[in-house]
Amino acid sequence: LISRYKLFNEFRHEFVGQLAPFRHSQCEIEERHIISALKIQEPNFGYLCTETLRLFRYYGLEGKREENHRVMDMYEDIEDPPFGAGTRLARKFLRVLQEVDGEWNLARQSRDAESGEQHASRR
């Protein structure tokens, strides 16, 4: 799944905004054109891709914030999803990433609050 999203992201960065290779047209390539050309049926594919990759960079393999065990367990199970199960698993994976992100942000807020209290008590 992540490898598919990365490939789509490469296409998006390379082609979106370029002029379509038609002789008599000045049409710019848009994300929806790439999705259509790849025959992707998921209407929210661009969002799923962007948000999943963003959060995976934080909590996935060698994550910037942490390598979360829940994310990694699910990643290993869905990297090559069975035919027809891709969208359901993609949405579930994104939900797990969002939950982990929410938990990380709550823990950070708690640490920041404790740090502020310790600073105030030292004065």
pLDDT at residue 9 is higher than 60: yes
pLDDT at residue 72 is higher than 80: yes
**pLDDT tens track for 30-50:** 999 999 999 888 889 999 999
User: Mean pLDDT in the chain?
Assistant: 89
pLDDT at residue 83 is higher than 60: no
pLDDT at residue 16 is higher than 90: yes
Share of the chain above pLDDT 70, in %: 90
> Could you tell me the residue range of the domain that residue 26 belongs to?
2-122
Total domain count, the chain: 1
pLDDT at residue 122 is higher than 70: no
| C-alpha closest to that of 47 among 97, 102, 120, 112 | 97
pLDDT at residue 61 is higher than 60: yes
Angle at 40 between CA 13 and CA 99, to 5 degrees: 75
pLDDT at residue 81 is higher than 70: no
User: Tokens 């008599």 correspond to what residue?
Assistant: 24
Q: Is 62 left (phi over 0), alpha (psi -120 to 50) or beta?
A: left
Task: Please tell me which of 1-5, 24-28, 75-79, 97-101 the model is most confident about, judged by mean pLDDT.
Answer: 97-101
Cα distance between residue 75 and residue 107, in whole Å: 23
C-beta of residue 41 within 8 angstroms of C-beta of residue 114:
no
